[in-house]
Homo-oligomer: A and B are copies of this chain.
Amino acid sequence: MSVLQEISSNVKNMKQLEYSALARRLKQIKEDLRQGVRKPFKEVIDVSWGDPHRGGMKPLTFVRQVLAACLYPQLLIDNKLPVDVRRRAQKLLDGCAGRSVGSYSATGGIPEILQRVSEFISRRDGGVPSDPENIFICCGSQWALTRILNVLVNAEAAFTTGVLAPASCHRTTTLSIEGLGGVVIPYYLSEEQGWELQVEELQRALESAEGACNPIALYVINPGNPAGHVQSRRSMQEVIRFASEKRLFLLADEVYQGCIYGEKEFVSYKRVLAEMGPPLSDTVELASFHSASKGFMGECGLRGGYVELVNLDPAVQKYIYNLFTTDSCAPLLGQIALDLMTNPPLPGDPSYFQFDQETQHIKSTVVKNVKKVCEAVNGLQGFSCQGVEGGAFAFPRIHLPAKAIQKAKDVGMQPDTFYCLKLLEEAGVLASPGSEFGQKEGTFHIRFCILIPHDVLEELLRRLTHFHSQFMKDFS
């Protein structure tokens, strides 16, 4: 009586991540190490996630103190926690039904937090107004994105819905599009130009999809993942004009807005759109995503993200609201994390000094990491790495020897997955293969997280360097 034959072909067609072969191997190696099996390394360095705490970055004290006090209000009574921590926790509990983080909140989020998030957005965007009614807090930004795609991708339509998305692209997004019955129209970022997004390429991608699907949305990631590019204002203006001309809904994944390492500044799509003035600023439909998972806070496990909707037809927004209703609310502690991310301690607050020190330390660590990575990786034969301007990852290109490519084919693997598997087995480093994210035919990459302590990065680079020269020898 299996329901297998009944299952939606959309779900059936979702690709299993090839990555899971690596994940399985990781599990086994960890088990081996636990059982005392001798390996050339004592511990695996897993840099396949964009997850700062996993790699050993420390959570921010202020954030954890407020969250702990909200959970266990006994902590508000004695004087151990700074007074601004206690005051903030009190205020946040006032916004929770029954003054408990154990109650449900309204569908879109706690009203007081939505209000403060909207004020943050407006400050960030140089005064462009933001209305809490247009913001929905979800169980992570990924989830917000899936819900918006849920409304945009029409599985019953005669003509499949198409969504333009970058290659290389954060994989869960493309999986979501496929799972909903849409198709991804990949556009390539220009690696040689530091992973720039070029409008001519969007044009080419759109034309290539003609007749095959109904393109309805354009997904951009800025700062990028896996490629750590930060878009310029001019490039964003071009993208907005393109979206307007082609009547595309703009999905701006801006979760890495707090992770900027170079000269360039982050500017939001919403701000650029507003600055362009009417008619564009009144008409281009935009959804912008942000998250407590990223930035220097890095609270992935709390699951708090939001989407802000701009220029949406009120009827469409009502449908979105209805869909969100079926999920219940986002976890209250994730919502609170968003409040803290968007409203950190200010100079003069008792917690400010420590907060500032901790965030400065993280920032300087990552800046140092980025420099070190580019130097080290560009120094290796067969590797080249574009500058990392933002985001959580380095995404160097690797020029694999023909013998290695052949060997990978023989064992039925993508060549870069083959490389990553060997890197894991022989050097105890888990990076992700570029094939997981999509890449230009014939090119190969590996991705690894740079939001890690500097000594861990140094060890990683030592292992990579040693492994890589052996690999190149073996397959030359």
The residues of A with any CB-CB pair to B shorter than 8 Å are 1-4, 6-12, 14, 16-17, 46, 49, 51-57, 59, 64-65, 67-68, 71-72, 75, 96-98, 100-105, 139-140, 142-143, 146, 150-157, 161, 172, 175-176, 179, 181, 214, 216, 244, 247, 249, 283-285, 293, 298-303, 312-313, 315-316, 318-319, 322-323, 325-334
Contact = CB atoms under 8 A, between A and B. Distances in A.
B2 A285 contact: yes
A51 B325 contact: no
B154 A105 contact: no
A358 to B, nearest CB: 14
B331 A331 contact: yes
B179 A8 contact: no
Q: Indicate the member of A65, A153, A284, A331 with the most B CB atoms within 10 Å.
A: A331
Contacts of A283: 1
Q: Indicate the member of A3, A102, A146, A312 with the most B CB atoms within 10 Å.
A: A102
A324 B186 CA distance: 24
Given A142-B328, A303-B139, A326-B176, A216 B103 contact: no
B102 A299 contact: yes
A98 B54 contact: yes
A49 B104 contact: yes
A166 to B, nearest CB: 18
Given A102-B302, A103-B53, A326 B9 contact: no
Q: Indicate the member of A3, A57, A161, A299 with the most B CB atoms within 10 Å.
A: A3
Contacts of A152: 3, 6-7
Given A53-B102, A300-B103, A302-B101, A327 B14 contact: no
B143 A333 contact: no
